[in-house]
Structure 1
Amino acid sequence: MNRITIVGAGFAALTAVQKLRAADPTVKITLVAPAPEFSYLPGTIWIPSGRRQPEDLKIDLNNFFRRMQVHYHQGSATGLEDGGRRLLTDRGEIENDGLIICSGGRFIKKLPGIEYAITPCEGIPAAIRIRDRLREMTSGSIAVGFAGNPKEPSAMRGGPMFEFLFGIDQQLRQEGRRDRFKLVFFTPAPEPGKRLGPKAVQGLLREMKRRDIETHLGHKMKQFTDTQVITEGGAFDADLILFMPGMTGNQWFDNTELPRSEGGLIKADAQCRVEGMERVYVAGDSGSYPGPDWMPKQAHMADLQAEAAAANLLTELKGGQPDKTFKVELFCIVDSQTRGSLVARTTHHNIALPQLRLFHWMKRLFEWWYLRQYR
């Protein structure tokens, strides 16, 4: 019986579990994560307004593990030995015949004063902090922005920041107090959302102008304080700062021989195989993959990579040559509480459709459909 270990409990990890179990009912699957739960991060954009409660987005995975016959190992990865055949954790060692790393990325928090900013994609607790701060504030300036990893173009996550920006604007309007707040969007990039495609950039900027959201674009970040955002192009006041820094690899990678990209992620090929290692794969934010510079770090992409990783690992365990690749496609709905705009990008097409109520409800329906498989 082949033993496969999966590190992580996010989108890529759970998709890998499903694909492995569907393809091979006999394989022994061990999943390593600090807690047996899944946080649906796309839904955190609705926590500040109260459209979602934290408990709506946190799924207990014990039932899913039982259905999928997964052995859950509570702990955090700390290292690798024997070419990946032994995973070290803070609660013991796990031997495997195949390994899939799905432990996500780590935000680069080197900017002076970054402790004054809230990083929304750090999870449900961050969204709760945003909700509580908005409730406390009676007026002021709110700054929302993101940056990237200059050594890893794909290691950024700007989409959720547009959603928090437009969502907060809409929330304040619905509460009848938007006129008491100034909203500012900032990023070192001169064209925010360029990875979504040129049509999306134009649409995002038009939407900001329509909503009377100020912009501060194209200036390198220098520092945050408790009351300001400071860039090389000047400073502006901010009573609440939401900021998404670029991403790099997990700290536990440093205790391994995993090959790393210049930006700190695990180097993988088009089949999601970790370069130079046998039966070791990576899926989702942990990896650096060949592909276009707009390849997204998002849940949909993680699912596609996990599907390829699972299929290729099983092929390799059977003595075959892994040949399954993953599609590179970006698909998202940029939501604003009541409406959403649809953005899709592939190697051949780029679509950006305007804000419609239909897309908002499509996003909510997808959340229900996606989460029901784990409940």
Structure 2
Amino acid sequence: MKNVLILGGGIAGVEAAIYYRKEGFSVELISDRSYLFIYPIAIWIPVGINTFENVAYPLEKLARKHRFTLTIDRVTAINGKDKTITLESGEVRKADHLVIATGSGKMKHVGLEHTLSICGAPEQTLLLKEKIDALIAQGSGKIAFGFGGNPNDPSTVRGGPGFELFFNLHHKLEQLGIRDRYEMTFFAPMPEPGARMGGKALSLLKMLFQKNKFDSRYGKKIAHFEEKGVVFEDGSRLESDLTMFIPAGDGHSFIKESDLPLNKAGFIQINEFCEIKGIEGWYAIGDASALEGPDWKAKQGHLAEVMARNAAHNSAIAFGLKDEDPKSYLEHLNILCVMDMGNGAGFIYRNNSRAIVIPMPIIGHWLKIAWGWYYKMSKMNYFPRIPGM
């Protein structure tokens, strides 16, 4: 049986482990966490709709179900020439066949410790809940949510979850009858955050901001964060009792320090079949990889899963386990999200030929909750996999 080592226990790594097993490989997955954190449904932890335990799914359950080996450790170094990885435990592993699915690091900002992120370390979702509960107990306050960019790789921007939590917090304050006591401001360095989703989605966001009386600070680069606010490069300041900020993705330090082929942001250069350029038998998928494609391209979970399945398929071809054509991730480049707002959602889709926005009052929120259940059940084979989901 052919062996593969998969680095990363997130959405991409888990999908790779499952599909490499389906292709007949012996799989070992190395993760620095004992659970798969399902970020798309983590937006509800800070507002009390969901719990940490329901979002953090034990990797051991998945390992038993799909019969792959799970190792909890952290990767500290990678050597492409020697085809080795070094773990925090000190162990050095030889890996002739490797899949890197370690996600991305984060852009560093001065004063970032004064912020919390819905897309950061999973524990920050609980800290956000504590902050929100304290702010509600306080009775009034100033709330600032935002996200940043990476000029070396714009595809690493992740603003959707920030908007979702922003709308959900607004909805929670409305339900409590205290929304008018809070100033809510969204900030971002780009002039039109959300523009990559298409003109219709951008118009919807603008309409919702006007309707809900949100303030905005767009087009100003962030200088640094302070305990009670955000300071911009033009010297202006946004006061805040709670600052939620999602830094753009950046290459992990251990990847930047490796000999792997990288783009300017430190993401691994691959071909359309997810093969790392110049290293036979090594693949990179999901946020760890450098995507090719149109300017509006974005790193999302559904694309990471496509890349994982394609890597498994293409590896089986390379090892002579099947005789089929290799699969490219490029044909699957699109933006797809259900932007939850607490009392509904908006379905957003964009590819090279069209951009669609479908408002889904009330039912959209429950459909996204149902997707969280479906995601876990389908990963455990308790529920049949629906193509495209």
TM-score range, shorter chain: over 0.9
**SS in structure 2 opposite 1:312?**
helix
> Secondary structure of 1:128's partner?
helix
Give the Cα separation in 2 of the matches to 1:239 and 1:223.
16
Aligned match of 1:323: 326
Residue deviations 1:29-81, cap 9 Å, x none? Answer: 11111233111111111112211011111111212212222111221112233
Is 2:145–2:166's contact at 8 Å kept on the other side of the alignment? yes
In 1, Cα distance between equivalents of 2:244 and 2:82: 38
* Contact 1:316–1:322 (Cα < 8 Å) also in 2: no
Q: Is there any run of 5+ residues in structure 1 with no aligned partner, and where?
A: none
Whether the 8 Å CA contact 1:84–1:99 is kept in 2: the answer is no
Deviation of residue 84 (structure 1)? Answer: 6.0
Q: What residue in structure 2 maps to residue 87 of structure 1?
A: 85
Aligned to 1:165: 166
DSSP-derived class of the 2:28 partner: strand
SS at match of 2:158: coil
- Counting aligned pairs with the same residue, the percent is 28
Paired residues of 2:144 and 2:186 also in contact (CA < 8 A): yes
**Residue of structure 1 equivalent to 2:384:** none
Q: Which runs of 4+ in 1 moved over 6 A?
A: 319-322
Matches within 5 A, 1:119-268: 119-137=117-135, 138=138, 139-233=140-234, 234-268=236-270
In the alignment, which of 358, 364, 382 is matched to residue 359 of structure 1? Answer: 364
| Alpha-carbon distance in 2 for matches of 1:183, 1:214 | 6
Residue equivalent to 1:310: 312
Shift of 1:321: 9.3
2:4 corresponds in structure 1 to 4
CA contact (8 A) 2:250 2:267 kept: yes
> Using a 3 Å threshold, how does the CA distance of structure 1 residues 280 and 321 change in structure 2: closer, same or farther?
farther
Task: Give the match for residue 343 of structure 2.
Answer: 338
Q: How far apart, in 2, do the equivalents of 1:88 and 1:61 lie?
A: 22
Gaps of 5+ in 2: 381-389
Alignment of 1:113-124 (within 5 A): 113-124=111-122
1:130-157 Cα deviation digits (max 9, x unpaired):
1111111121110001111101010110
CA contact (8 A) 1:78 1:255 kept: no
2:285 equivalent in structure 1: 283
* In structure 1, distance between residues paired with 2:271 and 2:258: 19
Moved more, 181-190 or 41-50: 41-50
- Counterparts of 2:303 and 2:60 in 1: how far apart (Å)? 25
Q: Cα offset for 1:374? A: 4.2
In structure 1, give the amino acid aligned to 2:327: K
Whether contact under 8 Å (2:80, 2:279) holds in the other structure is no
The reply to whether residue 17 of structure 1 matches residue 31 of structure 2 is no
Q: Distance in 2 between matches of 1:192 and 1:34?
A: 32
Shift of 1:353: 1.8
Aligned-residue RMSD, C-alpha: 1.7
Residue 106 of structure 1 corresponds to which residue in structure 2?
Answer: 105
**How big is the shift at 1:295?**
1.6
Q: CA distance change for structure 1 residues 255 and 170 in 2, over 3 Å: closer, same or farther?
A: same
- SS of equivalent residue, structure 2 residue 310: helix
User: What is the identity, as a one-letter code, of the residue corresponding to 2:232?
Assistant: T
Asked if the contact 2:36/2:58 (under 8 Å) is kept, the reply is yes
**Structure 2 Cα separation of the partners of residues 224 and 23 of structure 1:** 48
Residue in 2 that maps onto 1:274: 276
- The TM-score normalised by the length of structure 1 is 0.95
Number of aligned residue pairs: give it. Answer: 372
**Contact between 1:45 and 1:163, CA under 8 Å: does it hold in 2?**
yes
Residue by residue over 1:300-325, the C-alpha shift from the partner in whole angstroms, topping out at 9 and shown as x without a partner, is: 11111111111112222229897310
State the shift of 1:349 in Å: 1.7
Q: Deviations over 1:324-361 (max 9, x none)?
A: 10211211011111211110112222101225212212
Q: Distance in 2 between matches of 1:60 and 1:373?
A: 15
